Amino acid sequence: MPNEKRKKANIQKQNSPQNLEVSENALYIGKKPVMNYVLACMTHLNSGTQKLVLKARGQAICRAVDTVEVLKRSFAKNLQVEEITISTEEVAREQGRKSNVSAVEITLAKP
């Protein structure tokens, strides 16, 4: 039984948007320290991308805002916040229950 729980936890962890993922122009913010996301954003922006979208849900929203502020104040002073989109997503929980989770998308652009 413990092995089944461990396998299930690993599968959920791999499929979770809370892991650091970069796809095209999107960066998913999760539980890692803010500076990890700042570094990922700088790497992405230095590779020639003109726009970058930071996506976060729930408690990670404050980490996304912190990431943008650190970028703007210290690393990419000419970076502009182009758009902020807020939404609510319905997430399935244990035992088939559903709950609402707040989400935010912050679009950053180089001038």
- Give residue-wise pLDDT tens across range 5-53: 444 444 334 434 444 444 578 999 999 999 999 999 999 999 988 999 9
| Mean pLDDT estimate for the chain | 83
What is the C-alpha to C-alpha distance for residues 70 and 74, in angstroms, rounded to an integer? 6
Task: Give the pLDDT of residue 23.
Answer: 53
pTM summary value:
0.75
DSSP class of residue 53 equals: E
Q: Which of 28, 105, 36 is nearest to 70 (CA)?
A: 36
Bridge partners of 57? 103
Q: Which two tokens stand for residue 33?
A: 């320290």
Residue with tokens 């650091």: 20
CATH 3.30.110.20 assigned to 20-109: yes
